[in-house]
């Protein structure tokens, strides 16, 4: 059962526009992530937030910025999208099982940049 | 990269057959996790195997971990069409972030 909710499911936009994606988790987890998944299904971590503090930023372009109001929400803003930003953006929250992290993903937001 | 293979692999089998998917990693890990991603959904954890376990079973799933060769496998017995998905292995040391391998696209034909 889904407990990480992403909106929108799809978004089509043009180069140079700004887009925002929303993510909410109802699991009570302290850490949330954004991953980018390309057309070959490769998953690359973009950001993680732990209690509203950015703890990982995998050198993504500066036009990407995470935004969080509380530990249950982590949004992603892309300022001035580029064609290479076309991908599926997956939000996840995590918990630890005997010290090892387990991720719970949303269904993803598919971005198409024309 | 942490992974020996980052390109998406593809397997196509008939329903009822058994299948084994492999992944290899380059750096030390204490745990390997396997995730499954069905079409239009996000990945979901299937099974976790620790470095002190050589084999772990869950229903029709069997995971193995060979720390000497730094490789792991996931086997599914008696596959169903609903097993069609992309399967990922992922590693992290305690306290480190989870990183994913390139994935295997499994198609099970009814």
Q: Which domains does chain A have, with CATH numbers?
A: 4-113 (2.60.40.10)
Of A42, A45, A100, the CB nearest to B48: A100
CB pairs under 8 A between A and B: 59
Q: What value does the mean pLDDT of chain A take?
A: 92
Q: Do B103 and A41 touch (CB under 8 A)?
A: yes
B65 near B23, Cβ under 8 Å? no
pLDDT score recorded for residue B4: 56
In a domain, B2, yes or no: no
Q: Kindly determine whether residue B97 and residue A56, on different chains, have CB atoms separated by under 8 Å.
A: yes
Pick the more confident residue, B7 or B46: B46
pLDDT value of position B93:
62
- Band the pLDDT of B108: cuts 50, 70, 90: very high
**Taken in order A41, A45, A46, A48, is the CA torsion positive or negative?**
positive
The confidence band for B2, taking pLDDT boundaries of 50, 70 and 90, is low
Domain that holds residue B77: 9-109
- Report how many domains make up chain B: 1
Mean pLDDT for chain B overall: 90
Q: How far is A23 from chain B (nearest CA, A)?
A: 13
A66 within 8 A of A58, measured Cβ to Cβ: no
pLDDT digits (tens, 9 = 90+) for B60-99: 999 999 989 999 999 999 999 999 999 999 997 655 678 8
Structure tokens at A79: 């300022």
Mean pLDDT, chain A cut into blocks of 10 residues (114 residues total): 91 97 95 94 90 76 91 94 97 85 95 97
In a domain, B104, yes or no: yes
β-bridge pairing B61-66 and B44-50: unpaired
Complete DSSP assignment for chain B: --BS--SPEEEEEETT--EEEEEEBSS--SEEEEEEE-TTS--EEEEEEETT-SEEEETTEEEEEETTTTEEEEEESS--GGG-EEEEEEEE-TTSPPEE---EEEEEE-
A56 chain-B contacts, CB cut-off 8 A: 97
CATH number, domain with residue B67: 2.60.40.10
CA distance B43 to B107: 16
Asked whether residue B59 is assigned to any structural domain, the reply reads yes
Q: Which residues of A69-106 are buried (b: 16+ CB within 10 A; e: fewer)?
A: eebbbbbbebeebeeebbbbbbbbbbeeeeebbbbbbb
Contact A92 B41 (CB under 8 A): no
Among the partner-chain residues A90, A101, A106, the one whose CB lies closest to the CB of B98 is A101
Q: Please report, in angstroms and rounded to a whole number, the separation of the first and last CA atoms in chain B.
A: 36
How many whole angstroms separate alpha carbon A1 and alpha carbon A8?
19
Task: Please state, in angstroms and rounded to a whole number, the distance separating the CA atoms of residues A70 and A67.
Answer: 9
Within 8 A of A45 by CB-CB distance, chain B residues are: 97, 99
B3 belongs to a structural domain = no
Instruction: Name B76's bridge partners.
Output: B19, B61
Measured between beta carbons, which residues in chain B are less than 8 angstroms from residue A102? 33, 45, 48
């Amino acid at each position: 059962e889904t407990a990480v909710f992403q909106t929108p499911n799809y978004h089509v936009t043009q180069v140079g526009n700004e887009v925002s994606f929303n993510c909410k988790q109802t699991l009570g987890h302290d850490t949330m992530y954004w991953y980018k998944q390309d057309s070959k299904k490769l998953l690359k971590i973009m950001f993680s937030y732990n209690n509203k503090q950015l703890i990982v930023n995998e050198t993504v372009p500066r036009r990407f910025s995470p935004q969080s109001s509380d530990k249950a929400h982590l949004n992603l803003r892309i300022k001035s999208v580029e064609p290479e930003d076309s991908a599926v953006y997956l939000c996840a929250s995590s918990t630890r099982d005997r010290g090892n992290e387990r991720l719970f993903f949303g269904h993803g937001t598919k971005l198409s940049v024309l | 990269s942490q992974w020996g293979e980052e390109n998406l692999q593809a397997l196509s089998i008939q329903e009822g057959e058994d299948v084994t998917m492999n992944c290899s990693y380059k750096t030390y890990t204490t745990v390997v996790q396997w995730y499954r991603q069905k079409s239009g959904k996000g990945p979901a954890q299937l099974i976790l195997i620790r470095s002190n376990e050589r084999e772990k079973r869950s229903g029709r799933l069997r995971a193995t971990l060979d720390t000497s060769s730094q490789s792991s496998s996931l086997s599914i017995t008696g596959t169903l069409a609903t097993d069609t998905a992309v399967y990922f292995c992922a590693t992290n040391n305690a306290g480190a972030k989870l990183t994913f391998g390139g994935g295997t696209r499994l198609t099970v034909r009814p």
